[in-house]
Amino acid sequence: MLLNTIKELSVNYAQENVAARRHLHAHPELSYQEYNTAKFVADKIKEFGLIPTEGIAGTGIAVLIEGKNPTKKTVALRADMDALPIQELNTVSYKSQNPGVMHACGHDVHTASLLGTAKILQMIKNEFEGSVKLIFQPGEEKNPGGASLMIGEGVLENPLPQAIIGQHVMPLIPAGKVGFREGMYMASSDELYLTVIGKGGHGATPELTIDPVVIAAHIIIALQQVISRNASPKQPTVLTFGKILADGATNIIPGEVKMAGTFRALNEQWREEGLRKIKKMAEGIAESMGGKCEVTIVHGYPYLENNPLLTQRLRQAAEEYLGKENVVDIELTLGSEDFAYYSHQIPASFYRLGTRNEAKGITAYVHTPTFDIDETALSIGPGLMAWMAVKELLEH
């Protein structure tokens, strides 16, 4: 039957998928600069006998794989292609050859896996009705998010997919397993840039200055009460300031202090209200202390909600593919993902591909210089995604 055929193809092409992943891993490119990556993807797609639409939102690619009766229904599958500004510390043969740039979030794996899925679907296209749209997008790691640009350039039109599925590596889940969550899954993420302006001077004459360091300290402490007193206790929220620059000295009070942070929420109304309160409070505190605070908010991705019915069906498909014992629940996280943009357009589901292997010492988290995956996950990812897409087309 079709499930076994797909499984066999996925295992048979595992080496090829690993080779593609290693090539991409060794040649990472930063967000919106995925030129060679896009060329690699497009060349592979053509090799499979498919026609890529290139240059969407710069380096993005879309591919339509048409089954029988291709206009009946369309399901979209998405991979992201960008790497991070991290110097890789792994000593593997496929280590990044691009100094200071690394596939530390597994987007090399997502891209290689979706190429594997493309090959499988192309080989079985007479076995399903409808079409599968593959989306290889740029810039997941950086605002405004490649997903929003791809949507803006019409990637969800002609044809409009009835559902979209995204896959992401997860170093907390052992290779061989996958994780799902219905409903709210990831947070909105906005960037905060605060500049506290005072009046600098000698550290021994504070009365002649307006000390922006003390003002900034008050602001940071006070803003935490937006989380503890204004956010509902039932509503997960995060406010973190990871950067403070006060470039004075032991005896010099600087003229200004810069701070940068992130505000995350799971509710659009609270998100806007929280941002308003942060701005008002920071400005008010600075003013009451004789200084000024300029607040710049850079809006990031919205929250990501996994469509419950779609996610239930995909979970069932995964249980058929891997066995019930290899499909796990995943928890809500206040991480963010630009896949969220698709989830605000059409029914979407974002699931996790386990890549951990403690015996092999593969445990590092994403966005770290020692992140790697157990590549046996690449014998699963491509076939699983193909099976999910085909099942959506066949049965729903």
Binding site for Zn ion (CB under 5 A): 105
Nearest residue to the partner Zn ion, using Cβ: 105
Q: Measuring CA to CA, which residue among 181, 152, 184, 140 is closest to residue 300?
A: 140
Q: How many helices (H) and strands (E) does the chain have?
A: 10, 16
CB atoms within 10 A of CB 290: 12
140 carries an active-site annotation:
yes
CB of residue 380 vs Zn ion: minimum separation in angstroms?
18
Residue bearing tokens 């409009």: 160
Residue bearing tokens 């594997």: 116
User: Cβ distance 29 to 82 under 8 Å?
Assistant: yes
DSSP letter, residue 160: P
Give the residue with the Cβ less far from Zn ion, 167 or 379: 167
Give the residue with the Cβ less far from Zn ion, 18 or 105: 105
CB of residue 208 vs Zn ion: minimum separation in angstroms?
47
Give the residue with the Cβ less far from Zn ion, 79 or 105: 105
List phi, psi (to 5°) of 202.
-75, 140
CB of residue 88 vs Zn ion: minimum separation in angstroms?
15
Distance CA 128, CA 125 (A): 6
User: Cβ distance 178 to 220 under 8 Å?
Assistant: no
Distance CA 278, CA 224 (A): 9
CB of residue 165 vs Zn ion: minimum separation in angstroms?
15
Give the residue with the Cβ less far from Zn ion, 105 or 175: 105
82 carries an active-site annotation:
yes
User: Cβ distance 313 to 375 under 8 Å?
Assistant: no
Give the residue with the Cβ less far from Zn ion, 140 or 392: 140
Residue bearing tokens 């399901």: 75
CB of residue 202 vs Zn ion: minimum separation in angstroms?
45
Distance CA 350, CA 260 (A): 29
Q: Measuring CA to CA, which residue among 84, 158, 163 is closest to residue 339?
A: 163
Q: Measuring CA to CA, which residue among 102, 105, 107 is closest to residue 28?
A: 102
Cα 149 to the center of its chain, rounded Å = 14
Distance CA 357, CA 350 (A): 22
Give the residue with the Cβ less far from Zn ion, 40 or 350: 350
Question: Of residues 29, 34, 80, 82, which has the active-site annotation?
Answer: 82
Distance CA 226, CA 189 (A): 16
Cα 130 to the center of its chain, rounded Å = 28
Distance CA 84, CA 30 (A): 6
Question: Of residues 140, 141, 211, 374, which has the active-site annotation?
Answer: 140
CB of residue 113 vs Zn ion: minimum separation in angstroms?
13
User: Cβ distance 17 to 116 under 8 Å?
Assistant: yes
Give the residue with the Cβ less far from Zn ion, 20 or 390: 20
Catalytic positions: 82, 140
